[in-house]
Every structure is written in C-alpha cells, then in structure tokens.
Structure 1
Amino acid sequence: MDHRSARARLPLLILVRVHPPPSPPSGAIPVSRFRFRIWRLPVAVLLAVGCLAGPVSAPAAAGNSGAAGHDDALRERIEELVRAPGGPPGVIAVLQRRGKTELYRAGVSELGTHRRPQPTDHMRIASTAKAFSGAVALQLVDRGRLGLDDTIGERLPALPEAWHAVTLRQLLNHTSGLPDYTRDADFLAILNADPRHHFDSRRLLDFVADEPLAFPPGSQYQYSNSDNIAVALMAEAVTGRRYEELLRRTVYRPLGLRSTSLPQGFLIPEPYLHGYEVDPPNPPEDVSTVLSASGVWASGGIVSTPRDLTKFIRAYAGGDLISKPTRNQQRQWRVGASEPAGPGVNATGLAIFRYTTRCGVVYGHTGNFPGYTQLMAATPDGERSLTFSITTQVNKDNKPELLAELRSVQEDFICALLRR
C-alpha cells in the first residue's frame, strides 16, 4: 500500500499482485492495495466454467413455453457474467415465491474443481450485513429500548462530542455524516502490514475519533461503514449484551438461520464459495480468507449462505421482524444508492433500500467485499425473494462496465420473480 496522508483517503480494493493495480474502487468494505503476493493459482485452473450453468427447479408445465423461455434467458445471462472479462468464477441465484424455489448456477464454487455453487455454501455477505444490524436496532425500537431519535450523545457519550447530535435514524439511513473509518490511513496501514490483524471491533471508530462530521446530520446522504458500527454499539449500550448475542436472540434463532455467524477471524466454515480477485490477463487469485472479519464487524463481517439469506430477506423486507409503525418509519425513502448500486432506481430507508425496476419494486440490500458481491431482495410483503451472489468484487470504481451488466442481469431476475 502507498502510505498516504490522512487527507488522501481513497476507496480501495484488495489486490494481491506486486505489479501496479488498477484505479482504486469503493465498496462496502474498501480494502488497501496490498503490495505483496499472497499466493497465485496455477494457470491450469482457468477453465471454461460457463458450461456448468443451469436452473434447478421443477420442470416447466407442458405447454408453458414462455416460462421455459425465461429460464433459458436467465441461464444465459449468468453464463455471460462468468464469461465476461473480469467476471466471477461462480454465480448462484435463488428465486423463491411462496412454496417454489428456483436455483440458477453458473461456473464453479472453487476453481480447479467441478463443484457447482450450492445454496448451503457459506460466503461473506459484505454490506448486506447492515440489514442485520438494522433488524436488531429496529426490534429494540419496538421494545422501547431505543428510539429512532436517540442520539450518540445520549447512548454513546464516550464518542466524540462533535458527533453527539447524530441520531439512530441518521445512522440507519446513512445521513449521519460520520467519517468512514475504513478510509483512515492508520486503519489501512495496519491492514497493509497484516491483512489478518485482529482488530478490537468495538474500537473501530477510534480511527476517526479526531475527525469532525462530514456534514450536518440529516442534511445529505453519504454511505459510511462507520454508521453500522455505531448502531451495534448503541444496541449493546442499551441491552448490556454483546452484538453477536443480540443477533442470535433476535435474528438467527427466530428465523432458523443455522448457517449464519459473525466471526472475528479470517476463516469461513466449510463448505464455502471461494471468492476471487479477477484481473485479466492474470489468473484469478483466491482471496476468500485474506482478511480478518474483525475489521468490518457489524458493517459487513457476517458469513451466511444463499439459503439463510433467502429466509432473512423474506422476513426483513416483509416486515415480519418489526411492528407496522416501525416498519412505516423504516420505509420513509430518500435518494441514496446502496454500495454497490442495486438494480433499477435506488432509494434508502432505514437499513434497507428500495429498488424500483422496470417490472416493479423490491426491498433489500447489496454489498461487496474482496471476492464477493451480493444482492438480497424481496417484495414488500415478503412473498417473493431473490438472492444473487457472485464470487468476485464488483463496484462502480473497480469494474464499472461489469457492474452495469450485473445490475441489468439482476433486474432481469427481478422481472422474472415479479412476473410469474
């Protein structure tokens, strides 16, 4: 990593090559430009994997050629993603409507194998984890333990006085103005020296404690990883319980999420989707376990599976976890795109985004992390859902053309979800 001044903070992408990297991207968890080699996969693993794609679902009913045609079109779209320059080695999409699940897969879960991505494969869910911290906080609002207008000064008085006027509502919809700790020069220097460094997750905001707010709270939208760290700390402050325990009590257990966790280390439970840095003409490099999750924590450290994400987003978008009055507060929309941008026109609510596509509206969240890009979305009633996972990091700065294609493919899947 180039050691730059604290004023020269840029969004970053993990690269594990010694030659100069491309322009730095932004994302749910920007990571430093590592100037050392981790390991390199042999050229032999660059296999043609697009031929392994295909939906797994009940056969189309006789005479229902339209549905079969949509299946073929969706399959071709994800095959194109895998074949695209810089595209992911693996893609898995799960569409669910009421009792029917359709599974679409392209590529492989690990290069050098023929194993296809599975709905039970673990993966880093990146900033879709912010919806989980939203679920915890909004349930505490329902129980009267927190208020949406509670301030940092009231709940976390040890944080900088300059931040004290920021409310829980502003943290949840990214209008707080909190400086983003993941862009701090000292934080990035530690990652450069030791990518698997174990951070004290509850002290991550210390990296920017000497900085003022970027703007007056509530005056504008700016996505910041610091926001959800503060949300988790507020939840801990009013309950006296660790955030990990709150997740288990209020989200995992009620929804039956048996394969979801918030680890502190760099390992991922087996089996898992391997995430890759893909930068042609160089061979893809496996970055699945390069980083410790302790440096992202409530902002993006959760590990889950497509199956569990499907359960979560159906309940979360459908309002099953919170009361109607709180849900109405959550769904007060303002201009703001998720990171990376989701399909269609984006708007932000409280720890949830609205995606208005050409075929209709879904609610959800996106995320990107070295090796992974995620979308989870569901209809406002939670009856129909889509989770869409690819095994490389894509955002507006590192791969803008591929992001545009990814958003187009995601919109096609949402149209299929809403059409049937």
Structure 2
Amino acid sequence: MPLRSAPARSLPLRSRLRASCAVAVCVTALSQAPMSAAATPAPRDTDLQAQIEQLVHAPGGPPGVIAVLRRDGNTRVVKAGVADLATGRRPSPDDHMRIASTAKAFSGAVALTLVDRHALRLNETLGQRLPRMPRAWHQVTLRQLLNHTSGLPDFTDDAEFQSIVAADPHHHFDSRRLLDFVADQPLNFRPGSEYRYSNSDNIAIALMAEAATGTPYEQLLRSLVYRPLDLRNTSLPQGYRIPEPYLHGYDVTPPPPEDVSELLGVSGSWASGGIISTPTDMTRFIRGYAGGALYGKNVVREQRRWIAGASEPAGPGHNSVGLALFRYATRCGVVLGHTGNFPGYTQLIAATPDGRRSLTFSVTTQINEPIDPDLLGRLRAVQENFVCALLSRPGR
C-alpha cells in the first residue's frame, strides 16, 4: 500500500494542537448525558443520513463522517461529507484511519487473552512482572491498569514529553520507555480507590504482556487479535504516515480546515492510541471483542465487572467501565465498546454483548469536552440514535 508524505505544518497549528491535547487521547471531563425517560422510536435510514449531514455542517463539525452498522449478517453504511477535502472523495469503509484510544481495547484483548491462557493473572502486580518499575508503583495490578484505577500518572501530561512533541511532532520515541517521563512521580491515589483515565495504563499493560511472553507487543497483536478476528488492514506503526487510501483528519478550529492526518508520529502513543485500521476491520474487531470471542466465559465475566467511569470522550448514554471495555446504557438498550480521539479523528466502536450487532462511528476531526463541549454533546446524541437504530427490531 503506497504511503503519502506529510506536508510541512505551521507553528501556530502545532500550538493549537498542543493546547487541545495533541498526543494520543486527551483527558476530558467524565461527563455523562442523562438517559431519556421515555423510549422513542428508532430513527429511519433517512433520519440517520440527515443527522450526520447536519453534524458535518455544524459549526466546528467534521469534514467527514462514516458509520458502519452490522446487524445479524447485514451491513449498512451511512456516510456524509468527504474523506479528502482536496479531492472531494467520499469516505469508504476500507479507508485507513487513526483509531485513537480505541487502541486501548486492543491492548485489553491481548492482556485478557493471556489471562485466559494463564500467562498473566489479573491480580499480578507491576512489581512482580516488571520489577524495574518505580517501587511506588509495584502494588498496581493488571486489573487496575485495565480499568483505569491504577493511579499511574499520565505520561502525556508531562511537561518534558509535551515540549518534545511541540518542538518536533514527528519525534521518534522509544515506545517502551514512555513511562520514564513520569517514573519520578508518585501514584495519583491508592490503587483501586478511584477511577482516573490514564494513557500510562495501557503502556504498562503492553509491557506486562511482553514480559510474560518474551514477544514484542506488535507480534502479540498479530497473533492474538488480528489473525483470530481476520483483521486485514490493521497495524501499529512507529511513524507518522498513513497507508492510502485514508480518511483525512482535520483541525477545523479556526477555519479553514487544515489537514493534520500525518502531523504527529505515533511512537509516543503506542499501545495507548497508535493503531491504524479501517471501519471494516474495526467492525470485525468490536464484534469479536465485545462478544467475548477471544477468551472464555470466566474472563468475559471478569471483564464485565462494571464500575463508575466514562470513556474519553464520553460515549453515548450512561457510561461505566470494565476491563478495557465500557458499557454504554442508552435509552434503547446496552452496547459495549470504546471511544477515542486524536488530532483529526474521533472514534466510537460498540457492539451488543453477544457481538451480533455492532456500530463503528468515525468522524474526521477531534471532538472532546475541552475543545467543544456542545459539539461533543451533539455527537453523543447522534451516536445514541445510531445505537437505537442498531438495536431496533427489523421492520421498525
């Protein structure tokens, strides 16, 4: 697959991206939209199309949206806007894209598969598996990393890390040393005592998986996730390029939109948010992952022990968190999945607990609480309507 080089970017754009959390996924408020008290009919196809058209044309809205709904063997693709403003090409389910923090579900898939195979234990600690980690972190367990109750400080908040990215967005980090940026910091709280989303958690998860198997994380992804779920166009690169064809991601504030698809290298995101995939592959992934296809019922049961906490950005309806998986309780029913955002992209993947119905919802700008809370609320409302369409009975 040919790769496209990134054009030079202006310093003001880099500054704007840094201010809006330019690396991996940025911390947002754990806002949760109230659930509607009264059930409403599922939107018709024409309603769904109109809603994403309106989203594209909203102030600060994305240049492109593509949603893939898969239900009982039938696939429906709803799209609006363009994949590339320069050419006017429409989005396609086979376009590559940055999947942002939905990559955390992939590290969860690796870790939980290893738990199922007895190569890792949920109560195993960082000190047991990675003794060179700071002593203050040694009692943090794999379970706490998976549900963001570890207390690990977030390396993407570190001033030195942010300074390096601002000076050279394509800087090549040693992905396995990212936690060094916060190794001199204590835990934010006693492990297990509260929920706080941290990009450091998934770096530690990947390192524990490597230590348990002696196998690079990228190879574990291929053997434990890509191959079993038949993901054909998914990868974890180290650079900044995206394979063609791809959904171009844009910074839309202030206008005019500027292409930021390849502004940042992803070695500084790695297991926390660096994966590239397609809507087609992400549909395959979430159906298998949420449906429990990768490991046995005992592990699925542990994964679905829900506590209070929202994904970032928050997903549709009321959010709660399990092990590298979120529960979205909407007015029409429950789906399980993950969200994510990265400069140029915002993602939602969700499926019913049996994996038979799924939604992949991708937009080509970064939408989160700090950037535009009103637009995030609008996006979540649209996503909830898509979930209602997904869960409706045929013929309704």
Q: TM-score, normalised by structure 1?
A: 0.86
Quick one: distance in 2 between partners of 1:289 and 1:19?
Answer: 12
How large is the RMSD of aligned CA atoms in angstroms? 1.9
Question: What corresponds to 1:208 in structure 2?
Answer: 182
Q: Deviations over 1:326-370 (max 9, x none)?
A: 000000000000000000000000000000000000000000000
C-alpha contact 1:28 1:339 (8 A) present in aligned 2: no
Q: How does 1:107-146 map to 2 (within 5 A)?
A: 107-146=81-120
Does 2:196 align with 1:222?
A: yes
Question: What corresponds to 1:92 in structure 2?
Answer: 66
Question: What corresponds to 1:241 in structure 2?
Answer: 215
Q: How does 1:55-204 map to 2 (within 5 A)?
A: 70-204=44-178
C-alpha contact 2:25 2:199 (8 A) present in aligned 1: no
Does 2:277 align with 1:304?
A: yes
Q: Deviations over 1:61-92 (max 9, x none)?
A: xxxxx98x701110010001100111100000
Question: Which of 368, 371, 378 is 1:405 aligned to?
Answer: 378
Quick one: distance in 2 between partners of 1:313 and 1:295?
Answer: 24
Q: Deviations over 1:81-107 (max 9, x none)?
A: 100111100000000002100000000
C-alpha contact 1:28 1:340 (8 A) present in aligned 2: no
| Greater RCO structure (CA 8 Å; 6+ sep) | 2
Quick one: distance in 2 between partners of 1:392 and 1:22?
Answer: 12
Quick one: distance in 2 between partners of 1:269 and 1:224?
Answer: 28
Question: What corresponds to 1:358 in structure 2?
Answer: 331
Shift of residue 399, structure 1, vs aligned partner: 1.0
The residue type equivalent to 1:375 in the other structure is L
Quick one: distance in 2 between partners of 1:28 and 1:408?
Answer: 26
Tell me, which stretches of 5 or more residues in structure 2 are unaligned?
1-8, 27-40
Quick one: distance in 2 between partners of 1:85 and 1:124?
Answer: 23
Shift of residue 268, structure 1, vs aligned partner: 0.4
Quick one: distance in 1 between partners of 2:193 and 2:366?
Answer: 30
Quick one: distance in 2 between partners of 1:251 and 1:362?
Answer: 21
Query: 3-state DSSP class of the match of 1:269?
Result: coil
Structure 1 pair 97/268, CA: closer, same or farther in 2 (3 Å)?
same
Question: What corresponds to 1:29 in structure 2?
Answer: 24
Quick one: distance in 2 between partners of 1:349 and 1:252?
Answer: 22
Shift of residue 25, structure 1, vs aligned partner: 4.0
The residue type equivalent to 1:250 in the other structure is L
Question: What corresponds to 1:396 in structure 2?
Answer: 369
C-alpha contact 2:18 2:166 (8 A) present in aligned 1: no
Shift of residue 23, structure 1, vs aligned partner: 10
C-alpha contact 2:155 2:182 (8 A) present in aligned 1: yes
Query: 3-state DSSP class of the match of 1:17?
Result: helix
Structure 1 pair 132/19, CA: closer, same or farther in 2 (3 Å)?
closer
The residue type equivalent to 1:240 in the other structure is G
C-alpha contact 2:24 2:268 (8 A) present in aligned 1: no
Does 2:331 align with 1:331?
A: no
Question: What corresponds to 2:289 in structure 1?
Answer: 316
Shift of residue 113, structure 1, vs aligned partner: 1.8
Question: What corresponds to 2:342 in structure 1?
Answer: 369
C-alpha contact 1:130 1:228 (8 A) present in aligned 2: yes
Quick one: distance in 2 between partners of 1:24 and 1:197?
Answer: 18
Quick one: distance in 2 between partners of 1:23 and 1:231?
Answer: 26
The residue type equivalent to 2:204 in the other structure is A
The residue type equivalent to 1:119 in the other structure is P
Q: Deviations over 1:362-413 (max 9, x none)?
A: 0000000000000000000000000000000000111111000000000000
Q: Deviations over 1:7-30 (max 9, x none)?
A: xxxxxxx99536985994458825
The residue type equivalent to 2:238 in the other structure is Q
Structure 1 pair 190/379, CA: closer, same or farther in 2 (3 Å)?
same
Question: What corresponds to 1:258 in structure 2?
Answer: 232
Q: Deviations over 1:182-211 (max 9, x none)?
A: 010010111111100000000000000000
Overall identity of the aligned pairs, in %: 67
Query: 3-state DSSP class of the match of 2:267?
Result: helix
Quick one: distance in 1 between partners of 2:333 and 2:23?
Answer: 26
Question: What corresponds to 2:319 in structure 1?
Answer: 346
Query: 3-state DSSP class of the match of 1:389?
Result: strand
Question: Which of 12, 15, 19 is 1:17 aligned to?
Answer: 12
Structure 1 pair 246/19, CA: closer, same or farther in 2 (3 Å)?
closer
Does 2:272 align with 1:272?
A: no
Quick one: distance in 2 between partners of 1:19 and 1:235?
Answer: 34
Query: 3-state DSSP class of the match of 1:295?
Result: coil
C-alpha contact 1:359 1:414 (8 A) present in aligned 2: yes
Shift of residue 114, structure 1, vs aligned partner: 2.4
Question: What corresponds to 2:388 in structure 1?
Answer: 415
